[in-house]
A and B are shown apart, each in its own frame.
Chain A
Amino acid sequence: MTPLASLLLRDIRLATRAGGSAALALAFFAAVATLVPLGVGADLALLARVAAGVLWVAAVLAALLSLDRLFQADFDDGSLDLIALAPPSLEAIAATKIAAHWLTTGLPLTLLSPLLGLMFGLPPQAIAMLTLSLLIGTPAVSALGAIGAGLTLAIRRGGLILPLLVLPLLAPAVIFGAGAVGAVLDRTSSGALLLLAAFSVAATLLSPFAAAAAVRLNLAG
């Protein structure tokens, strides 16, 4: 097996073991999505109106839950030193860890979202758009989150600072993602999905470099 495939497999295995981050993210996502109708009330028209925004925010927060440990868990137990001395560059390693994070959080959240969309009374086309927008947008969440994870890896309770660093960067994803669903509900056309795709591609391609630089900085500490 190649070095990066081993890393990908190990990170997926750690996330899906008992107590791993994958189930936690899904449970959090479902719990928030269940609480909102209890707070807002049973007005289906209103729920359908706010569904995309609520589910996008819930998905981002659910993904952020496990992001602070992306590098920190390996930093704390010494694994990160060993990983940094392996043949692949730190940039390739960051990209692989981002991919593993997306496969174990972003992708499951996306797959669960149609069910939650149904719960909010979204029409089928809007559900399809919500799922598509999450599929396109969640890689950016993992990727931009990795920058925050790299920056905070040596900080105790860095998990509290990470959302402050990363949430502003993720505002475009939430705006375009929820906007794309809103446009379907209004039966208007919008470029929101294309903008989301452009944002996601740029974030996913550039983040590994920034995350690797942040990790390198912290390995010297």
Chain B
Amino acid sequence: MKRAMTEMGPIDSLAVTDLACIRGQRVLFRGLSFRVGAGQVLSLEGPNGAGKTSLLRMIAGFIAPAAGTIAFGAVTEAEARGRHIGWLGHNDAAKSQLSPREVLGFFAGLYRSGVDIASALAEVGLGPLADLPCQYLSAGQKRRLALARPKLSGRPLWLLDEPLAALDAAGKQLAAGLVAAHAKQGGIVLAATHEPLGLACDRLMLGASP
């Protein structure tokens, strides 16, 4: 399962040690430890409010941990967050006034990605809608647009929050395919999800013991 990193950046592991998360004086989890290596997919599972999104936001550096450490292999935290994290939040960041082509074009410029926008759009099935303002897209189509970003970012560590939300069967297959291809290239994927990702992966249960 583990392969040498070739195309991806220098992050070859994500190690979380004794992590605790307190939100609004409520302990979501504590003593959480796990390690994900290159080529691994970890699916974060657990009931609503178990802290899946908070964990992802903690790894991304938006929330400071109440206790514990997050280590990105040989890379510093600041470096990891500015260069190595590909993010898919639960909102799609699809500006209603802009077209999918403009939305991804902006993102590619922001992340210095050299990937061709037209092919990225075609890959997620939005080729024919490339120039339609996003306000006319359905929830599933916006999710497909968001799904194109982690790959477009060219970054090794993907943090995905409910990647399958609002997607149809073909869309879920597409998401699974993107994740599997990324892992195969030596990337790391953490996905918070309520439903099976549809590929072989490790699973981490959050909030199992209240």
Contacts and interface: CB of A to CB of B under 8 A. Distances in A.
A84 B62 contact: yes
A83 B110 contact: yes
Contact of B85 (A6, A19, A85): A85
A86 B91 contact: no
Contacts of B62: 81, 84, 219-220
5 nearest A-B pairs in the assembled complex, by CB-CB distance: A6-B109, A78-B91, A79-B93, A78-B93, A78-B89
**Which of B94, B111, B146 has the most chain A CB atoms inside 10 A of its CB?**
B111
B95 A14 contact: yes
B151 interface: no
Interface string A1-27: 111011101100110011110000000
A45 B145 CA distance: 59
A186 interface: no
Given A14-B98, A87-B82, A220-B64, A82 B109 contact: no
Interface in A106-158: none
A77 interface: yes
B194 interface: no
Interface majority SS on A: helix, strand, loop or mixed? helix
Contacts of A74: 93
B34 interface: no
Given A6-B106, A14-B95, A85-B87, 18 more contacts: A2-B109, A3-B111, A3-B112, A5-B109, A7-B106, A7-B109, A9-B106, A9-B109, A10-B98, A13-B102, A17-B97, A74-B93, A78-B89, A78-B92, A82-B107, A89-B82, A220-B62, A220-B64
Interface residues of A, number: 29
Contact of A85 (B63, B81, B94, B98): B81
Interface in B104-159: 105-112, 146, 149
A1 B87 contact: no
B82 A85 contact: yes
Contacts of A79: 93, 95
Contacts of B183: none
A9 B98 CA distance: 12
B89 A81 contact: yes
Contact of A87 (B63, B89, B92, B112): B112
Contacts of B81: 85
Contacts of A14: 95, 97-98
A122 B89 CA distance: 53
